[in-house]
Amino acid sequence: MSAFNNKEFQHNRFLRVYLTAAAIVFIALWIFPVRRLFFESGVRWFYILLFASSSSALLTPLMIAIAKRAGIVDNPGGRKIHATATPLLGGVAIVVSFIAALMSNMILDRAEIAIMACGFVVALISLADDWKNIRASYKLAVQVIAAVVLVIFGVSLDIFPIHTLWGSFLNGAVSVLWVVGLTNAMNFIDGMDGLATGVCMVIAGFLAIAAYQTSQPFMGWIAMGMLGSCLGFLPFNFGLKRPATIFLGDAGSAFMGFVLAALAIKADWADNNPIVSFVTPILIFWVLIYDMAYITVERIVTGKVKNFREWIDYVGTDHIHHRIFAILQDKRRTVFFILFLSVTLGINALILRNARTIDGILTVVQAFFITVIVSILEYFGKKTKK
């Protein structure tokens, strides 16, 4: 109970009320008639959402207490923009609540089990990094192995002919690149209070809507589990007046990126139109893809990195949130700007549901020009500040 006696919770009325409501919801969900009512009414997704959000909310204060006692905190200094030592075990609350919510649903398919198991392994190696600071190459190796296991279990793209050896190989290779790339992109964007959590919620929300539109219950359940876990955690990670009381840590951001990336390639987007099927998830994940592409090109062009090893070890202040912050000079405005950008592009993805091929191509071009506009603002804003 030490977590609930913490001064941060005693002096924050909202969090006290929030935790009380979460406890009531969580207890109610375990009452058999309530559980059966959700399942028989065809709203399992809502049960998963409530289970994930309430359990995540209740676990987070416990993680704060454990992190402080174990010394698993993120200390200020260097490129970091927070002012006080902050617990790093928020991701554990996300992982546990997400898996527990899907298990409580009692319906799991082969791919869903693979995503949860591989995501858990990625979270474990990232948790070790939060605790002991292991080498980036070790984490990357585990992520690649986990992504390969996903492909073996059938979680793979089908861009190339699946009945040929070369097609199967390329599908697997692109799938691994997609999952590993977005796993690290989510980790890279986790640099401000609520940013990675918010971006994850936006992506999971659009994936859930797409699942409803295309009648894919398993995809919807996974998306709602992730959305709920982040929703329960968010009030501790983002406040309009107070700084975050806990961070995701690498365990949280890597797990979220891995699961969402895997879910995107598990989904059926538009069987009758391969271009739209390819473009839709790209738009939903566009902010992460854009940030990863921008820093890679910028670091190579400027000579900051000269090889792959330097690239994975490089730590800088050139990510999208750093660049936008340099213009807006306010962390919360920066977070909202990036979230609104992500929502804008996600809406475009939903519009493509029944679009023509040319519409899909034009939407990608539009997304490109939106990010060009953002890049121009970043560049001249930075020059003006100088």
pLDDT tens by residue, 81-97: 656 778 989 999 999 99
pLDDT computed for residue 183 by the predictor = 96
DSSP calls for 320-365: HHHHHHHHH--HHHHHHHHHHHHHHHHHHHHHGGG--HHHHHHHHH
What does each C-alpha distance from 147 to 115, 152, 197, 265, 308 come to in angstroms? 9, 9, 22, 11, 19
Cα 276 from chain centroid?
Answer: 23
Instruction: Report the number of distinct structural domains present in the chain.
Output: 2
Buried b (16+ CB within 10 A) or exposed e, 184-210: bbbbbbbbbbbbbbbbbbbbbbbbbbb
Same structural domain for residues 219 and 101?
yes
Same structural domain for residues 115 and 261?
yes
pLDDT computed for residue 151 by the predictor = 94
Same structural domain for residues 207 and 339?
no
Residue 70 reports pLDDT greater than 60: yes
Mean pLDDT of 240-247: 87
Domain boundary among 240, 268, 296: 268
Q: Please name every residue paired with 86 in a beta bridge, in sequence order, or none if there are none.
A: 74
Between 120-134, 216-230, 257-271, the lowest mean confidence (pLDDT) is in 257-271
For 55, other C-beta atoms within 10 Å of its C-beta total 24
User: pLDDT higher for 275 or 292?
Assistant: 292
CA–CA gap between residue 119 and residue 259 (Å, rounded): 6
Same structural domain for residues 328 and 277?
yes
Same structural domain for residues 258 and 300?
no
CA–CA gap between residue 386 and residue 384 (Å, rounded): 5
Residue 106 reports pLDDT greater than 80: no
- Let me know if 31 is exposed, middle or buried by CB neighbors in 10 A (0-12, 13-18, 19+): exposed
Counted residue by residue, the chain has a size of: 386
Mean pLDDT of 12-23: 89
Residue appearing with tokens 């992460």: 288
pLDDT computed for residue 116 by the predictor = 94
User: Rounded to a whole number, what is the largest CA-CA distance in the chain?
Assistant: 63
Same structural domain for residues 353 and 228?
no
List the one residue out of 199, 191, 156 whose CA is nearest residue 285. 199
Task: Give residue 290's domain range.
Answer: 272-386
The upper half-sphere exposure of residue 162, i.e. CA atoms within 13 Å in the direction of its Cβ, equals 7
Residue 177 reports pLDDT greater than 90: yes
For 20, other C-beta atoms within 10 Å of its C-beta total 10
Same structural domain for residues 139 and 287?
no
Helix (H, G, I), strand (E, B) or coil at 314: coil
Domain boundary among 206, 237, 268: 268
Same structural domain for residues 278 and 256?
no
Same structural domain for residues 39 and 161?
yes
pLDDT computed for residue 7 by the predictor = 54
* pTM summary value: 0.91
3-state SS, 85-147, equals CEECCHHHHHHHHHHHHHHHHCCCCHHHHHHHHHHHHHHHHHHHHHHHCCCHHHHHHHHHHHH
Q: Name every residue whose Cβ is closer than 8 Å to that of residue 144 and which is 6 or more positions away in sequence.
A: 176, 180
Same structural domain for residues 249 and 262?
yes
Domain boundary among 219, 249, 268: 268
pLDDT computed for residue 157 by the predictor = 85
Same structural domain for residues 309 and 253?
no
Residue 201 reports pLDDT greater than 90: yes
Between 7-11, 17-21, 262-266, the lowest mean confidence (pLDDT) is in 7-11
Same structural domain for residues 327 and 373?
yes
